[in-house]
Amino acid sequence: MNFQFLINKYRKITFKKRIIAIFIFSVLIPFICLGWISLYTINSILTNKVESSIQSNLKQEILGLENTLNNLNHVSQQLAFGIGNNKLLEQLYYEKDPFIKSRYRNDLKGDLNVITFSNPNVGLTFYYYNDKQEYDFENFPVRDNFSISKLPMMESYPEITYYGPHISNNRSNKNLVFSTMRKVNVTHDNIYVYIETGFNTTKSIFEPEDDIKKSRQILILNNNGEITYSQNEALFPVNSVFPFSDGEVTSGIYEQYIWHKEVSNQGWSIVSIFPKGEMNQEKNQWYIQISIFFLIFGTAVIIIGTFLSRMVYKPLEKFNSEIKTLINSNVKNNTDLINIPEFDYLLFKTREMKKKIWELYGQIEQKEKRRADLEVEKLLYQINPHFLMNTLDTVHWLAMMNGQKDIDKLVLSLNRLLQYNLGKMGDATTIGGEIEALKEYLQLQRIRYDFQFDVDIDVDDDAMLLAIPRFILQPLVENALYHGVSDEGYIHVDIRLGDKLDITIQDNGSGMSEEKVDQLLNDDSLDSQKVGMGIGMKYVIRILESNYGDQATFNIKSEIGKGTIVTMCLPVYRGDKL
């Protein structure tokens, strides 16, 4: 059942759509397969490239930070175990003379400055008295809220402790730094030396310049896997244990983040975390580029497919157009070619066939026109003689009852009307000529009948010289007189010129039923029973069909008690030829 439905559906697909579909599928299927393989390959390459880049960056940062901490360790050893410095501290502690004590302080500051300035990776440095929680000999101003207990401990050993990263305790430095404290080798007091890294030592880690590093976040873990520094405290709070600190796993996915970890030789670790969306940014850019390429390629395929289909479908449309011109009675001989030899030959044969069909059609049309003219001529020669007899009888009685003027008027109108109505068969007339004949006819009818009626004739001046068939208004006015208009009746003849010639004949008589209208249009015997000239509506319809074919329209609208309206719409012809 479904298979048959698909077959029927396929049969309804047009030839044009089939060509386009076959072409598109034949081109796109290999391209899509190649694109999928390329996509998979490039995705693997980019993934490995990004992960390798992250691991390489982490190793470089681990190595750089290890060197920085080793440098802090080396400087702290110089300050904690240097014989000269320690001796000055001892002498300063025991000396009572203020002058000598001042000299010792200056000498100690000088030694500190030499050591710190000769090491560009060293920043804030001072001696810290742990018992008093006071500092001395600082090389930069120290923040007022300085407290060792507030610093995040990174790792601790018996003689030295590392802190960080944290905001520098140097008032003029707001960068993140690492620091260390080492106990000084003196015999008195609990003295430590405090040293921070320099201004730009950690900038490459916390303020990266390349795009990959900018989108990442950093975690610093101590030897126990605890987080001492976090750039994402919502997910990885400080002092909490990193979820993957145990084991040898160095990368993974956690809460929509991709993480990579690198462990230093000293035991602490750096973890870089990336949002999955940011991590795939380079992939997404490549996807966009390949999508644009697919779009351009697909558009080109569609354009080429459309062009290919038009090469076949356009000739078929041309043949269809030739057939339509034949169906629509269009005899125009089109000489356009398709410029494809095979189709041009078929088109030439089609036009030859159309030409022969029109020749045969013209011959048949001429025969039918001659036959219709003969039928109309026959109708004209069947004029009812009672009209002439009645009119002549009226002339007889008027001659007896009145003077010669009335008789002359009657006979003159009769002669003009007979001369017009019995004119040469097939001759056309003008609107003006038809109106004059109608007036003569109405003059005779006013004399014949014993009741009064008014006739109003309203014609556009521009329509007076238009050509129409002879004898089409009088039968319609006769119909109004014989089928409704009584004493004090009214007949209105209106002729208007627009794109076509509109003729309206309206009366205020008793009107007719639909059956009566149908009899007038189709029953020849009913016309000849009462109408004066013996030719009624049927004649008018036939003469219109003979001269205009289907270009003319004829309508009757009648209501009992309200009257009748007859309308004709004719093509416009000027002169006395149709």
Segment 489-517, tens digit of pLDDT: 889 999 999 999 999 999 988 888 888 88
Would you say residue 327 has pLDDT above 80? Answer: no
Tell me: the pLDDT tens digits for 341-392?
766 777 777 777 777 877 887 788 887 777 777 566 656 545 555 566 566 5
Q: Which residue has the higher pLDDT, 438 or 10?
A: 438
> How many whole angstroms separate alpha carbon 143 and alpha carbon 505?
114
CATH code that applies to domain 208-279: 3.30.450.20
Instruction: Quote the pLDDT of residue 384.
Output: 53
The pLDDT assigned to 16 comes to: 66
Instruction: Report the distance separating Cα 568 and Cα 500, nearest Å.
Output: 10
Name the percent of the chain in helix, strand, coil, to the closest 5. 55, 20, 25
Q: What is the DSSP string of 449-496?
A: -SS-EEEEEEE-GGGTTBEEESSSSHHHHHHHHHTT--TTEEEEEEEE
Tell me the C-alpha distance between 226 and 22, whole Å: 64
Q: How confident is the model at residue 447 (pLDDT cuts 50, 70, 90)?
A: confident
239 or 333, which is more confident: 239
CB-based burial label for 162 (10 Å; 0-12, 13-18, 19+): buried
Task: Quote the pLDDT of residue 332.
Answer: 62
The pLDDT value recorded for residue 191 is 87
The whole-angstrom separation of Cα 182 and Cα 204 is: 26
Nearest CA to 9 out of 17, 29, 313 is that of 17
Name the least confident of 305-314, 383-392, 458-467, 500-509. Answer: 383-392
Distance CA 279, CA 217 (A): 12
287 pLDDT tier (thresholds 50, 70, 90): confident
The whole-model pTM stands at: 0.45
pLDDT at 155 (0 to 100): 86
The predicted pLDDT at position 27 comes to 74
What confidence category does residue 179 fall into, taking pLDDT thresholds of 50, 70 and 90? very high
Mean pLDDT calculated for residue range 217-227: 86
Q: What's the DSSP call for residue 143?
A: P
Summary mean pLDDT of the chain: 78
CB 285 within 8 A of CB 313: no
Residues 250, 55: Cα–Cα separation, whole Å: 9
Could you confirm whether domain 382-570 is CATH 3.40.50.40?
no
Please write the tens of the pLDDT for every residue from 411-444.
667 766 766 766 644 468 899 999 998 988 888 8
- Write down the pLDDT at residue 63: 86
Task: Please give the DSSP secondary-structure letter assigned to residue 173.
Answer: -
Rounded Cα distance, 528 and 384, in Å: 7
Mean predicted confidence (pLDDT) in 527-532:
47
| Local confidence band at 567 (pLDDT 50, 70, 90 cut-offs) | very high
Domain-wise residue ranges, the chain: 208-279, 331-376, 382-570
